[in-house]
């Protein structure tokens, strides 16, 4: 009984989003959002911020490919910050 209860709790926790991450942040790690970010970064005029945003966006893409949602969100958030969003 105890083992079954623990397995059920573990399954529930696996389906629950990580604490502090919103649905919006999870939508950041989609192909559509990444493509939009590529277009938006290309339009940036501040060279230093554009370089930083480009680096963070690439790190976000790399994390997304690895299935690392937390890493993807972390770097996407930094890219958004570089863009003033």
Question: For residue 47, is it within any domain?
Answer: yes
Q: Which two tokens stand for residue 66?
A: 């690895």
Q: Tokens standing for 35? A: 């493509």
Residue 9 in domain: no
Residue 65 resides in a domain: yes
**Structure confidence by residue, pLDDT tens digits, 64-79:** 999 998 999 999 999 9
Q: How many helices (H) and strands (E) does the chain have?
A: 5, 0
Q: What pLDDT shows up at residue 26?
A: 65
* Stronger pLDDT, 6 or 51, i.e. the higher one: 51
Looking up tokens 């680096």 gives 55
- Tens of pLDDT along 10-49? 444 444 444 445 566 668 888 999 999 999 999 999 999 9
Of 32, 31, 36, 81, nearest in space to 55 by CA? 81
| Predicted TM-score (pTM) of this structure | 0.69
Q: Does any domain span residue 60? A: yes
Contacts of 18 (CB under 8 A, 6+ apart): 69, 70
59, part of any domain: yes
2 domain residue, yes or no: no
pLDDT of residue 43: 95
- Domain count across the chain: 1
- The domain in which residue 56 lies consists of 19-82
| pLDDT tens sequence across 54-67 | 999 999 999 999 99
């Amino acid at each position: 009984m105890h083992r079954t209860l623990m397995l059920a709790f573990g399954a529930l926790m696996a389906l629950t989003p990580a604490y502090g991450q919103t649905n919006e942040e999870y939508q950041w790690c989609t192909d559509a959002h990444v493509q939009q970010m590529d277009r938006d970064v290309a339009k940036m005029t501040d060279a230093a911020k554009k370089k930083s945003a480009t680096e963070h966006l690439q790190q976000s893409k790399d994390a997304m490919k690895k299935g690392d949602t937390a890493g993807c969100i972390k770097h996407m958030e930094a890219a958004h910050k570089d863009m003033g969003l």
